[in-house]
Amino acid sequence: MSNRSEMDFCPGVGIGHVSLGDTGVSVLSFAAAGSGAGAVASVDVRGGGPGTRETDLLAPENTVGAVQAIVLAGGSAYGLAAADGAMAELESRGAGFRVFGPDSDGPVVPIVPAAVIFDLAVGDPQHRPTAADGQRATARALDNFDGAASTVVTNKVSTSTASASKASTSNIGAGCGATAGKLRGGFGQASREAAGYRVSAAVVANPVGEVVDAATGRLFGAPERAPVDPEKFADLPSPAASLNTTIGVIATNAPLAKAQLRRLAMCGHDGISWAVRPAHSPLDGDTLFAVSTASEESAAQETALEETASTTETMTTETMTALCAASSQVVCDAIVHAVVHAEPGYGLPTYSQLAKPANSSN
């Protein structure tokens, strides 16, 4: 497994952000305009306070096999409205589940799961992402979409001001109002190669638990990085108990069925537990989606279950194990990226303010 977490994000994904200062929306798109195709997907939800939409649909035993986009948003349950805007944008471009068949001119229903974080304690609690914000973020994600899922491509990350494969700040989109224990969190990305495939994670790090070991000052998820000053860290006020949550998407170009993607998402949660302590608390609603961008055929809703069923036989246990190991690691790496690249704001301290001179970057 390659350990280069700075490599390009999984091909076949477009990422778009709308940043609103103290909150925001991040959208990952998997659909080309005018196409019903998307990505085969599943999900694993943990913690005591999840805020989600369309997660039941992603259970392996349920019918629809592909999603056109996934929305990650701030605003607590109010932020789920952003998925309405995502659906509107996808419908306007003809992307979604074609109710009367893939070649019909009938209704198109975009499949857009979503998860939210609690960020109402940062900034103005009345300031929340809206459907319009979700529509704008989706438009940016679709504009950045590259369907060449079988090749390695650079996927741009669109914000209101810049585009790059990995933003210089993690406080963009849904990561604007994120906190990580005593520190500011954010939106992080990471990628690795495993068994000849790309495995990537886009994570909004907003956990109740700490990301820094108070005894050593080192990041749980990256102890090799420069430590923070333990005394300064100890002096930081403990955050008030509130609903938080780490949410994200694991994407791979390996041809996986829904049941296999569920396993990938489950293993991704190990990455949260490596980077955050405690993870999956009663005040978290940790949610990880997993998607396969392997091909348009395997993503077509009408045939997804049939066409991906054969991958269960061809995907060896060794390959699946390697993908699961990569899933755990990229989630951990993405959380570290979010914390390390957070910027001061809204009275929230950051890792960069407290860390001794760093000898590495992510």
| DSSP string computed for 82-100 | HHHHHHHHHHHTT-SEETT
> Rounded to whole angstroms, what are the CA distances from 30 to 94, 234, 300?
13, 43, 11
List b or e across 78-109, with b for residues whose CB sees 16 or more CB atoms inside 10 angstroms: bbbbbbbbbbbbbeebebbbbeeeeeeeeebb
Domain ranges of the chain: 14-354
Q: Where are the beta strands (DSSP E) in 86-239?
A: 97-98, 108-109, 114-116, 157-158, 163-164, 179-180, 183-184, 186-194, 197-205
The pLDDT of residue 265: 98
253 near 293, Cβ under 8 Å?
A: yes
Rg value, the chain, Cα: 19
As a whole number of angstroms, the distance between CA 249 and CA 170 comes to 16
Domain 14-354, CATH: 3.60.70.12
Of the chain, the end-to-end C-alpha distance in Å amounts to: 18
DSSP class per residue in 168-190:
S-S-SGGGTT-EETTEE-EEEEE
pLDDT at 150: 28
Low-confidence ranges of the chain (pLDDT < 50): 4-5, 148-165, 296-313, 360-361
Contact criterion met (CB below 8 Å) for 97 and 64: yes
Note whether 205 and 174 are within 8 A (CB): no
pLDDT tens for 192-217 read 999 999 999 999 999 999 999 999 99
CA distance 41 to 43: 7
Residue 7, pLDDT score: 67
- Write out the two tokens for 307: 């066409």
Gap between the Cα atoms of 25 and 48, Å rounded: 23
Residues ≥6 apart with Cβ < 8 Å to 344: 184, 350, 353
pLDDT tens-digit map of 314-359: 689 999 999 999 999 999 999 999 999 999 999 999 999 999 775 5
